[in-house]
Amino acid sequence: PLIKVMNLISLLILPAIVNRYDTDKLLELKQSPDALAIVIAVVAAVVVFGAIAFSKKSGEAQAAVD
């Protein structure tokens, strides 16, 4: 289930990142990421790592109960 959630979140965040770029400049690789795109990517990475940590913690707690 976690991989499905991660894929869904990536599809939801993708338009926010792609809309930050000028496609003509991007095709020529002449545009570097702006601050907002970097912030979006960092926040998304923190959410993914947080979800993985929470998932592992929940799994360990459930294993202790069994």
Q: What is the pLDDT of residues 15-53, one digit of tens each?
A: 877 777 666 665 666 666 778 778 888 988 898 888 888
The letter for the amino acid at 65 is V
CA distance 44 to 65: 32
DSSP 1: -
pTM: 0.52
